[in-house]
Structure 1
């Protein structure tokens, strides 16, 4: 075998040696299934996709795995600091951030969804919805900014707590959290992803692929965080405007999903067509059919999650209104008692 093939950076690692085996020319970029010790690589061709494969075809992306561990670990460290001080922190927030938020992020980037996300556009679309909607919503419900402000050392004028406050009050954060800007980013981002060269670049570059995952979570967080209003972050608006912003996103998901379903030009067509020329072509559906399914997933999942979030915000608004009414009743009762005592 020529030395140039053995040392090719695109070739997968052999299972028991340090040499590299050449990749068949028909196979596009695929996931490398890894464990910590020893480092091994699977064959570039995946078996037929089924629901069972979601829970059995696991792979670890080192960068995203480390980011997950650090984020969850820092949050749990903050909760431990509060408990050592004797302060209370709701268990629901911890479960929301660590279990639901970071757990969903790990599941979307390491399970069978991640293994097949460059093989089937429909599977990628499931991953997209988890990263763009489920993860940001759960992270926001965990109130990590509030936790950080209560546990970071320093004061409002010096130390890590001061640095966090400086970031929250900076002009950059003020602009990025401005409601029209967050709404625009949230709506435009998927259009830019699927109707530009961005998605093709993510299919051919592991780095771009990882950054796409991070981008989806960040844009979703910028949109959801101020709307929930749990953390003291800029961009929070009155309840009617929060509901309006969520309502405006509902037709966007439907329109984008229908557009993808009706699109004659295939998204990532060259990549997906190349996969069907190899062994996986025996079970892979046609690229057009898979794109139809992907558009339907985006349409349905976006509307379902959006309606659930709309209901959550409406419930929070009703509860806040009831609390405000109770406070007003107590204030009026106090004034009435004072007037009675003066008489």
Structure 2
């Protein structure tokens, strides 16, 4: 009955193409509210800084805007309309929510913006959360890494994915989970916010390298599966009115695995570029700090040298 109900809801969908992505928009209340509030509060924070003469990097604002736009497109555009119809469409959505959105939002530095603009009491509450034991546990790099690489396996090779196809609530919670786990992993590595779990740049690169084989292996595993993910869900849709244009479920599953593999490597490359730029900038700032320290020491030595060269007073001068 559930499959029949969903088939009835999507039976009017046209073939999946670029036109469908633009025409099959929906107004999902939760993503719309999250997008409007998150974007609005960020803009208010930036305007407050500018009014008092402070500077906020434009690149951070652009990164935040890209992240929120990617989130809304993944959850409300035509891509969301087809995410329970085509596994390949779902996989694109998966990669956007788990990689593109967290990476972009982390580069936006919203915590730093909040700490610089909030009144004293709310800022104190935020600092208390950042220094809490829960934040330290969630920011522990090995835990975040484990959640990030193992969650997709748990999603696709347990009953979780099948449940997400049949339950709207589970489906929405899956989206929340993808963004949250991605944020736990990306924020301490590429973010500039003062969060627990920050590690040195070499270890950040190591964590990034370690994620790539997991995405590739999962993608190859899905491509080679003879059993369909989601059980009889996709065949049931294929046998209904959508069967006129739906691809073979097994072929679509192979495409989905290829998307996971290729998109993971592509975003991983962007990840590497971001880490490299941050590492270079950090090294340059460290070099500037070291130069300033050496300059201070040199000036101190120059001031001390004339005093050391000044002749000591004679006995007669001291007696006078």
**Residue from 135, 140, 143 that aligns with 1:178:** 140
Indicate yes or no: 2:68 matched with 1:102.
Answer: yes
Matched residue, 2:317: none
Matched residue, 2:308: none
Contact 2:86 2:252 in 1 (8 A): yes
Change (3 A) 1:290 1:30: farther
Equivalents in 2 of 1:44, 1:253: separation in Å? 33
- 1:195-251 deviations in Å (ceiling 9; x for gaps): 111111111111111111111111000000000140001000111111100110011
SS of 1:135's equivalent in the other structure is helix
- 1:104-149 deviations in Å (ceiling 9; x for gaps): 0001111111011110000000000000000001100110001111
Matched residue, 1:113: 79
Indicate yes or no: 2:103 matched with 1:137.
Answer: yes
- 1:280-320 deviations in Å (ceiling 9; x for gaps): 10111111000000000000000110121012102211221
Give the drift of 1:272: 0.6
Aligned residue pairs, count: 305
Pairs within 5 Å for 1:51-90: 51-90=18-57
Equivalents in 2 of 1:324, 1:30: separation in Å? 61
**Residue from 231, 245, 252 that aligns with 1:269:** 231
Give the drift of 1:274: 0.8
Equivalents in 1 of 2:17, 2:49: separation in Å? 44
Give the drift of 1:26: 4.0
Q: Which has the higher helix share?
A: 2
Pairs within 5 Å for 1:86-235: 86-97=53-64, 99-154=65-120, 159-235=121-197
**Residue from 266, 271, 275 that aligns with 1:313:** 275
Structure 2 residue ranges without an equivalent (≥5): 306-320
SS of 2:104's equivalent in the other structure is helix
Indicate yes or no: 2:3 matched with 1:28.
Answer: no
TM-score, normalised on structure 2? 0.91
Equivalents in 1 of 2:39, 2:278: separation in Å? 26
Matched residue, 2:208: 246
Contact 2:102 2:179 in 1 (8 A): yes
Equivalents in 2 of 1:74, 1:264: separation in Å? 47
**Residue from 260, 278, 283 that aligns with 1:298:** 260
Equivalents in 1 of 2:255, 2:76: separation in Å? 22
TM-score, normalised on structure 1? 0.85
Equivalents in 1 of 2:253, 2:119: separation in Å? 50
Matched residue, 1:336: 298
Contact 1:126 1:297 in 2 (8 A): yes
SS of 1:269's equivalent in the other structure is coil
Change (3 A) 1:243 1:29: farther
- 1:23-55 deviations in Å (ceiling 9; x for gaps): xx7463676xxxxxxxxxxx6431111122112
Give the drift of 1:271: 1.1
Q: Following TM superposition, where does structure 1 have runs of at least 4 consecutive aligned residues deviating by more than 6 angstroms?
A: none
Contact 1:78 1:151 in 2 (8 A): yes
Change (3 A) 1:250 1:199: same
Equivalents in 1 of 2:236, 2:5: separation in Å? 7
Let me know the Cα RMSD of the aligned residues.
1.7
Higher RCO, 1 vs 2 (CA within 8 Å, ≥6 residues apart) = 2
Residue range with higher mean Cα deviation, 61-70 or 297-306: 61-70
